Amino acid sequence: MVKCSNCGTNADLFCTCAGAPLCPAHSKEHEGQSSDHRLFPIEAYEHRDSPDYLDGVQRRLELLAEKREELKGFLGEIDTCTSKFAETISDLERRIAEYKAEQIQKLTEAKSSLSAQIDAAIAEAKANICMETPLLQYPLTYILRGSPSLQVFSYRLNLADILHTLDHLLAYTVRTEPCKAEDLVISPGLFVVNKACSYMTKYERSKLLGEGSFGKVYEAHVKGAPTVKRAVKEVQKSSGVETEEQRLALIQEVDLLAQVDHPHVMKVYELFEDDFKFAIVSELITGGELFDFLCSMEVLTEAGAAEAIGQLLGALVYLHEKQIVHRDLKPENIMLDQTPNHISEISLKLIDFGLSAVLPHNHRLHEVTGTLQYMAPEVFSGQYDNKCDVWSVGVILYLMLIGELPFDGDHEDQVTVSVLMNSPNYEHEQWSVLSPEALQFVQRLLVSNPANRPTASEALEDPWVRKFRQVATSEATLKLGNLKKYRCDLKLKQAITQFVTAQLLSKEEISQARDIFNSFDANHDGWLSREELVAALARKEALEEAEIEVNQLMARVDLDGSGKIDYSEFISAWMAQEKQLNTSVLDRAFENIDSDHSGKISVGELEALLGRKGKTSKDLWTDLLKQADTNGDGVIDLEEFRKLMVDRL
């Protein structure tokens, strides 16, 4: 046993700096005293002179040398890979820079080309048309809904989609910066705005009409005008409009309705928003649901069904012309304006545009939405157009004639399969008592392939509709002659007349004008065409005279230059010509425009009434105000206002 050189106890280690064996305690004393301090097991010291030991040490040294060479080779390979990687990175950076420069060049060229096309489109729009404007208080993504090919934040921009978006915006915006009164186009939608206040500032609420998960509906009337009644739909922000998407969807629904001017579509007047709720003010519809009225009848004749379907199709012709797809046509969304005494007196109102959409440029919508029993087969595929509404009309007509739904089931999957299989019961005994034209018409509407399905306009001309629907009479032909004397050359008077008839009059006050309009609008498409007017007048006078008179009438009444007389254009002209805008109505209009209650209408108040929708020059409002400002004091007082509206016909 080897002993410690310091204390003589058993040694476990050999210290190189001491040059002697040491015990653990004394070996620690030498730590850090020399850079040569090493400790080896005592066995190595004991066998330091053994040949086997020396051979083992030699072999280990040789192995270490081999490992060292291997490590050097590995490090060399790492250096080589690092160099190649650096070269690859450099090459990639060069390629990326080249690609980036190439793409920037392409985008620059595309931008230049697009700008030129935009300028040309805007110039053409300015030169030829001056369109009405909706609220447009929702983002561009809502306008482009249904156009997924437009990839925002991507190089893959579809030029056609961009140009279509511009076309859509141009179709709903006033001409940029009109500077003269004649540049301003007047339409009912101009006055439908989103007001950031409570609706109770303008209306007095009376009774509750209904409530549901969406909120509550009240009857209300304009303050100071108890006969001017409205329906107010309250939607609480805490329950019905909790997200920004829901808020924008509600604004979009109002915006769509603001552009609609049809006697068989619910009219919207205003949208109010305060801290707690939204309030949509619309016309008061008191007749209830169409099907409740039909169920109260002992017998529904084909003539009655044809009248209802004809009015519904007429509304669709109008909506589809404006590229609006309802997407949720069903009995619950078809109301009666007032309770009629007979089926021939019905006047439908199409409501609930919450699921409606504007067709994109490719005429394809993609959102699967609607009520299952009334959804067209193509809707389930996510590729469809406005003919989905025509299918829904077919389902409604089948239900009216047969008394049961053509597609139904105990749960949603069964209903979906029933719609996709499209096998209505055309052998039902009820068909035996109906005309062959009725069956053929329903079969035309319920064609699975939309390419073979008629449009709303084509369906309106179907033999069954033309055979059983009441033909418009000529009783109002002579009354139309009253409009021959109508004069409304001043743009300010046109605007105020439209404002009064669109916002301030009750249904009772415009009922005569509405009935006359409907008597001429034989297909209920919401327009009086040149051909319809000529045909009506030609019943009482020579064709050439009728054509001359209609041309003169169109020039005076067709204020937006559409080539047809819109519903509100006719109502406004009729009310003005028949002296229906009495002093009381005009004073109420003056009070509404005179927002600061100063007793005078300023340039700013005219702009607030008519200029909310787009950029305009101040010269426009000054030019308009001068049309009534006879004393030149820069404002319009009540007497000047009355003189403008009453004397200058």
Q: Kindly state the DSSP code that residue 289 receives in the 8-state scheme.
A: B
pLDDT in tens, 238-252: 877 878 888 888 888
Q: Which residues are catalytic?
A: 328
Name the least confident of 158-162, 209-213, 617-621. Answer: 158-162
Q: How far is CA 156 from CA 143, 145, 149, 150, 528, in A?
A: 19, 18, 9, 8, 44
pTM higher than the cut 0.85 = no
- Which residue, among 606, 591, 605, has the nearest Cα to 495 in the 3D structure? 606
- Rg of the chain, C-alpha, whole Å: 41
Domains annotated on the chain, with CATH: 13-48 (no CATH), 129-284 (3.30.200.20), 290-468 (1.10.510.10), 477-647 (1.10.238.10)
Q: What is the pLDDT of residue 122?
A: 65
Q: What is the pLDDT of residue 144?
A: 35
Reported as a pLDDT band with limits 50, 70 and 90, residue 608 is: confident
- Which residue, among 185, 134, 225, 256, has the nearest Cα to 491 in the 3D structure? 185
Residues paired with 181 in a beta bridge: none
pLDDT in tens, 7-47: 888 887 877 777 778 888 887 777 666 665 667 777 766 66
| Largest Cα span, the chain | 147
- Give mean pLDDT, residues 36-60: 66
Beta strands in 274-405 (DSSP E): 277-283, 324-325, 334-336, 348-350, 357-358
Please, what's the b/e burial string for 463-481 (b: 16 or more CB within 10 A of its CB; e: otherwise)? ebbeebbeebebebbebbe
pLDDT at position 493 over 60? yes
Are β-strands 268-273 and 194-195 bridged in parallel, bridged antiparallel, or unpaired? Answer: parallel
pLDDT at position 153 over 50? no
**Coil/strand/helix, residue 268:** strand
Reported as a pLDDT band with limits 50, 70 and 90, residue 67 is: confident
Are β-strands 13-15 and 39-41 bridged in parallel, bridged antiparallel, or unpaired? Answer: antiparallel
Higher pLDDT, 162 or 645: 645
Higher pLDDT, 582 or 135: 582
Residues paired with 14 in a beta bridge: 21, 40
Report the 3 state secondary structure along 400-451. Answer: HHHCCCCCCCCCHHHHHHHHHHCCCCCCCHHHHHCCHHHHHHHHHHCCCCHH
